[in-house]
Chains A and B, each alone.
Chain A
C-alpha cells in the first residue's frame, strides 16, 4: 500500500492533466485559416515589408482573406505562382524591383571635408554638418543600408555602397535607411542609371568629386529615345522611356552613367 497510493496519485494527476489539456485545446481552439499557414510557408520569411504589410505573417493572412497574390517582391514570380496555386486564383506576374545607389564617388575620386570619429552610422554622421564627405549629396559609406538588408545584397566597396543585383530583391529597406536618400528602387529590367545625385553647379560638383554629374547635356543629346533630361544641373533617366541601349553611358565624360 505504501507504494500503491503515491503511484495512483501521480497517475491520476497525470491523467487529469492530459484530459484537461485535451479538453482545453479542443474547446478553446483558435481557428486559423489553413491556407494562411500554407502561404506563410512558401513566403521567403524575411519580414521585409515590401508587400506593404507588417511582415510575412500579416501578408499571409490578408492573402488568405483575398488580397492580391503578387505583392511579395522578394519572392518574385516563383512565390507568386505558389501562392496563387494555394489560393486557386490565376497567376499574376510580380513586377520585380531592384535597388541602385545613385553615387559612385569612391575613395579615389572624392575626398573628405573633416575626419569623422563618432558613431559608425550614416544617420549619425549625416547629422554632423551633412557628413564628412566633400560632396554634400554623396554616399557616406558607413553602411546603414548594409545593416538593414535582409538578403546581404548591398556592400560598401571603396567608400561607396554598391547593390549586388543578383541578390537584390527590391524590398526597399535600404532606400528607407539611407539618410541621403541616394538609393532608388525601380523596375529590375532597367539597367541604365545615373550614379550621382549631385545638384550642385558643374564647377562645385567637379571640385567635390571627379565622378559626379556636371549637367553637360551630352547624354540628353545622345539619347535616341529622349529618356534623359538634365534638370537642376543633373541628368535624370525616365525609366518608362529608357530602352537600355547604353549610348548615354558611352559618351558620359565623368562616367557617372553606368550600365548596372
Chain B
C-alpha cells in the first residue's frame, strides 16, 4: 500500500510528466488558456492514460516480451503502443459520440489531440522500463494523469493572469507563457526528495 502511495505521489508531484519530464508540452501550452478547457483536457488525458496502460501492459507482457523468454520483440514496443493507443482513442471517440453526446461535446475536441500525445505514450513505455507490474503501472498512469491535471489547472490560473498583465510587446502570448512555464517547473523541483522521506 505504501509503495502504491509512493508511486502515486511521485508521479503527481516529483516526477510530474509536464513539469519534470517535459512531456505533453503541446497541450500544456495549447489548452491552458482557460481553466474550464484545461480541466476537460486533463480528465480526458487521465482516462486515456489509465486505459491505455491497461491495454499495453498485457500486450507487452504476453505478446512482445513473454515471461518464458521464447522471444524478445521489445523493439516493437513504441510502434505497437502508438497503434494500440490511437486505435483505443478512436474507438472511444466513436462510442462517446454515439452514446454520450454531452460528454462528446465536452471532451470530443480533445480526444483526437490525445491520440498521438507523447505523455500518454511516455507513461506506457516508462511503466515497462521501470519494471512495474500491472497494478503499479495503473497507479503510475493515474498519478501521471492527475499530475498532468495539477500542472494544467495551476498553469491555466497563471495564464489567465498573464493575459491581463501588462507584458512587454515582444513577450506577449506564447513567449510569456513559456517563461512562466519555466518558473512553475522550477518551483516543482522543490518537491524533490519529498516522496523518499514521506514513504521511504
In the complex with contacts A9-B63, A14-B83, A30-B98, A20-B91 CB distance below 8 A: yes
Tell me, yes or no, whether A28 is within 8 Å of chain B by CB.
Answer: yes
Tell me, yes or no, whether B179 is within 8 Å of chain A by CB.
Answer: no
Tell me, yes or no, whether A129 is within 8 Å of chain B by CB.
Answer: no
Contact indicator A28/B76 (Cβ below 8 Å)? no
Best-buried of B73, B79, B94, B98 by chain A (most CB within 10 Å): B94
Contact indicator A10/B76 (Cβ below 8 Å)? yes
Tell me, yes or no, whether B80 is within 8 Å of chain A by CB.
Answer: yes
Contact indicator B83/A24 (Cβ below 8 Å)? no
Contact indicator B94/A17 (Cβ below 8 Å)? no
Contact indicator A30/B97 (Cβ below 8 Å)? yes
Q: Report the separation of the CA atoms of residues A6 and B80 in the bound assembly, to the nearest whole angstrom.
A: 11
Contact indicator A10/B94 (Cβ below 8 Å)? no
Quote the shortest CB–CB distance from B58 to chain A (angstroms): 13
Which residues of B have CB within 8 Å of A9?
63, 73, 76
Q: Report the separation of the CA atoms of residues A24 and B89 in the bound assembly, to the nearest whole angstrom.
A: 12
Residue ID in chain A nearest B101 by CB atoms: A30
Q: B79-108, CB under 8 A of A: which get 1 and which 0?
A: 110011011001100110111000000000
Contact indicator A28/B95 (Cβ below 8 Å)? yes
Which residues of B have CB within 8 Å of A5?
71, 73
Q: Is chain A's interface secondary structure helix, strand, loop, or mixed overall? A: helix
A interface residues, how many (CB within 8 angstroms):
14
Which residues of A have CB within 8 Å of B98?
28-30
Q: A1-44, CB under 8 A of B: which get 1 and which 0?
A: 00001100110011001001100110011100000000000000
Contact of B87 among A10, A20, A25, A30 (CB under 8 A): A20
Residue ID in chain B nearest A28 by CB atoms: B98
Q: Report the separation of the CA atoms of residues A143 and B86 in the bound assembly, to the nearest whole angstrom.
A: 46
In the complex with contacts A9-B76, A10-B76, A10-B80, A17-B87 CB distance below 8 A: yes
Contact indicator A24/B63 (Cβ below 8 Å)? no
Q: Report the separation of the CA atoms of residues A29 and B71 in the bound assembly, to the nearest whole angstrom.
A: 40
Which residues of B have CB within 8 Å of A21?
87, 90-91, 94
In the complex with contacts A6-B73, A9-B63, A9-B73, A24-B95 CB distance below 8 A: yes
**Which B residues form the contact surface with A (CB < 8 A)?**
63, 71, 73, 76, 79-80, 83-84, 86-87, 90-91, 94-95, 97-99
| 19 A-B contact pairs sorted by A residue (CB < 8 Å) | A5-B71, A5-B73, A6-B73, A9-B76, A10-B76, A13-B80, A13-B83, A13-B84, A14-B83, A17-B83, A17-B86, A20-B87, A21-B87, A21-B91, A24-B94, A24-B95, A28-B97, A29-B98, A30-B97
Those 4 A-B pairs whose CB atoms lie nearest each other, nearest first? A28-B98, A17-B87, A24-B94, A28-B94
**Which A residues form the contact surface with B (CB < 8 A)?**
5-6, 9-10, 13-14, 17, 20-21, 24-25, 28-30
